[in-house]
Amino acid sequence: MLHAFDLQVAVPALRDTRELSVALQGAGFFDQGDATQAVNALRSYTNTDRVNLGIKQVLKLAQRSQYVGDGDDQINWFAGKLAELVAGANA
């Protein structure tokens, strides 16, 4: 019975930092100020607004960032790891 709910739903990738910010706030991992700080850090690491990553990948990383620490430590860790993924996706 439980397998009846196992299905995949196609969801478009997060295209840019605006969509990324909305997703982070909507999922509750970052408030507006922290999401803005994470997006700004990502931009400084990658020199682009392009993200092109799947929402599941981004949200898993955001969830992992909760265990790194609070405030700037969490935001900088998240932005750094995300920048590595963005660089690979946009290469």
Domains detected in the chain: 13-89 (1.10.8.60)
Note the pLDDT tens digit of each residue in 66-79: 998 888 899 999 99
Task: List, as own/partner pairs, every contact residues 75-83 make where C-beta atoms lie below 8 angstroms and the sequence separation is at least 24, other chains included.
Answer: 75/30, 75/34, 75/37, 75/38, 75/41, 76/41, 78/38, 79/38, 79/39, 79/41, 79/42, 79/45, 80/41, 80/45, 82/38, 82/42, 82/53, 82/58, 83/42, 83/45, 83/46
pTM (2 d.p.): 0.83
Contacts of 28 (CB under 8 A, 6+ apart): none
The answer to whether residue 7 scores a pLDDT higher than 80 is no
